[in-house]
Amino acid sequence: MRAEPAYNGPPARRRPAVPLQSPAAAAHPSPHGQFGPPPELPGPSAFQEQRTGIFRPARSIKKVVLEQLRKEGEHRTAPLSQEAKEQRGRSLINEQVAIWADGHGVAVGGLVDPALERELASLAFDMCFRAGRLQRYLDDEQVEDIWIEGFERVFLKYAGRPKAVQVERVADSEAELHELVRDLISASGHNRQFSTHSPQVELEMRDGSRLQAMGPEITDGRTHVTIRRHRYLDASLPKLVQLGTVTQEAADVLAAAVRGRFNVMVSGEAAAGKTTFLRALLKEIDREERFGTAETTFESLTSPAFHPHVVPMQERFTNGERGSGGRAAGEITLTDLIKAAKRMSLTRTIVGEVRGAEITAMMDVMTSERRGNMCTIHAADPSAVFDRVAELYLRAQENFSERLAYRQIANGVHFIAHLSVDDHGVRRLTHIWEVTGVTPDGRPGHNEIFGPSDGFTGPAVPRDRMSAPRMRQLTAAGLSADLLSAQAVSYLYGGPA
């Protein structure tokens, strides 16, 4: 009797993805070539071509195993836990892999490589319980973004590398790619649709990655999927200082601003690291404090393990029907969440990103008696934040004016922390602005207390002097002159006493 292959679940961390190479790149390998892999990546698997042939049997095994689990579930009085379901799935997968190996061995006239059996078992497990052929890219800690441009083209954006590299596909047809997206929706626990009638979906995956998928009905005839990875879910200011994202002096000022309950806006262009930076700032809030987070899609800003009393809130999308007054039935917007948070005895409200009418509710919170609120906002540079807020106010169409928006900023926002990403993909905090009130021309005034060392995307270094009242407040919140460099003391305090 043939022994079934040993399989104890997927490996903790997979082999990093191997980028595809163009003929020119293969002839003249270079770690910085257009399709060249990062220097630390190993070469292709020894049985890479054989592995391509296991995609079809893996799909067949997936169908058999999931159907068997479904049938078994019908006879249980209580559903299995996810862990128990996966354990049972492993056993069923091993049985099916053994059956396949026997048949395949007869077809090729020899024994099947045990490594190939393990690869098939692992792939089948991923298809049943994880992200299928996409999983190996999600397991690579150096991958920041995954771009799927139709089923035939997949690109990975690696940390610290300016260009994306093309890698093996994750589906063999548009239909299979659609099935993968629906599997990811199901695995994430969201009740959302991805179909001809609903060709767009946004969600947080189980590992914290953020997925945006658009069907061929609203693109160029191909399905486009973008997955943005959060590589530092446990981000903290000390960790970001270690990574070079923020200088120690700037981190000290912002940490004191959070502890001192100042309102902070984190701005930056797309993929500049705003969410990661906001997550680090939240670590400066006392663990026992009870505050709320409001997000379009959960991005794990914080967790009950670190803040046991956090109240996480997420927008709910409509089912397409209209209720009384023409409002989408079942829809709960960020504006609704922010307003509800004011009635829940929360000390702060944190909004993952303001990009629409919720800006009015956010600014209302910031100008209320409660302080210490934070949010992120898209802006190419800190000087654009004021106009960006005014633009969102005008879009709200509630008789708001630019002048009102400027006054709300001046009264409600205390600090703007701006992040930039350079041409090599390096992210840094480049500016900290102190908002100082309304200027004679009606716009918010500011002090650029930190600015880029090179004038563009360099690390933030001390610039203008902070206002004396706010400096005293930050000192009371724990900011110590001893923690600042001599240069920072000179700038922030106006020179040694």
Cα gap 432→446, rounded to integer Å? 10
Give percent of the chain with pLDDT exceeding 70.
82
Question: What's the pLDDT at 298?
Answer: 73
Question: What's the pLDDT at 373?
Answer: 95
Q: What's 313's domain CATH number? A: 3.40.50.300
- More confidently predicted of 445 and 493: 445
Residue 65 lies in a domain: no
Would you give the DSSP letter of residue 33? S
- The pTM (predicted TM-score) of the whole model is 0.70
Cα gap 226→161, rounded to integer Å? 18
Q: Which of 28-37, 168-177, 215-224 has the lowest mean pLDDT?
A: 28-37
Q: Which of 9-18, 60-69, 288-297, 386-395 has the lowest mean pLDDT?
A: 9-18
Residue 449 lies in a domain: yes
Please write the tens of the pLDDT for every residue from 296-350.
877 668 888 889 999 999 887 765 555 555 556 678 888 899 888 888 889 999 9
Residue 276: which domain range? Answer: 237-493
Q: Quick check: helix, strand or coil at residue 356?
A: coil
Residue 370 lies in a domain: yes
Residue 456 lies in a domain: yes
Please write the tens of the pLDDT for every residue from 483-493.
444 445 555 55
Q: Quick check: helix, strand or coil at residue 431?
A: strand
Residue 192 lies in a domain: no
Cα gap 418→460, rounded to integer Å? 9
Q: What is the average pLDDT value for the chain, to the nearest integer?
A: 83
Cα gap 430→258, rounded to integer Å? 18
Dig out the tokens for 458 from the structure: 């360099």
Structural domains of the chain, count? 1
- More confidently predicted of 49 and 64: 64
Question: What's the pLDDT at 39?
Answer: 38
